[in-house]
Amino acid sequence: MDLYSAIYARQTIRDFAARPVDAATLNKIISAGFAAPTNNHMREWHFVVLEDRPKRRELLEKVIHPTTTKGATAIVNRWGLTDECQRELYINAIPKQFSMIEEAGCVILLFYRQPCPLLKPKSQSDLNPFASIWLCVENMLLAAASEGIFGVTRIPFADERKIVLEALNIPTGYEFPCWLALGYPADNAKRAPQVQIDPLTRIHMDVW
Delimit the domains of the chain by residue range.
Answer: 3-202
Predicted TM-score of the model (pTM) = 0.94
Q: Which has the closest alpha carbon to 29: 146, 198, 200, 111?
A: 146
Give residue 158's pLDDT: 87
Distance CA 192, CA 87 (A): 11
pLDDT single digits (tens) 164-182: 999 999 999 999 999 999 9
Cα 165-155-185 angle, rounded to 5 deg: 110
Q: Does domain 3-202 have CATH number 1.10.10.10?
A: no
Q: Is the pLDDT of residue 114 over 90?
A: yes
Give residue 130's pLDDT: 97
Q: Is the pLDDT of residue 190 over 90?
A: no
pLDDT single digits (tens) 4-45: 999 999 999 999 999 999 999 999 999 999 999 999 999 999
What number is the average pLDDT over the span 125-148? 97
Give residue 64's pLDDT: 95
Q: Is the pLDDT of residue 151 over 80?
A: yes
* Alpha helices, DSSP H, located in 35-127: 53-63, 69-79, 84-93, 97-102
Distance CA 151, CA 145 (A): 9
Q: Which of 106-120, 121-135, 174-188, 190-204 is predicted with the least confidence, judged by mean pLDDT?
A: 190-204
Q: Is the pLDDT of residue 192 over 80?
A: no
Backbone torsion region of residue 114, taken as left when φ is above 0, otherwise alpha when ψ lies between -120 and 50, otherwise beta: beta
* 35 contact partners, CB below 8 Å, separation of at least 6: 139
Residue 203 confidence class, pLDDT cut points 50, 70, 90: very high
What number is the average pLDDT over the span 67-92? 95
Q: Is the pLDDT of residue 194 over 90?
A: no
Distance CA 66, CA 35 (A): 35
* 104 contact partners, CB below 8 Å, separation of at least 6: 16, 151, 181, 182, 183
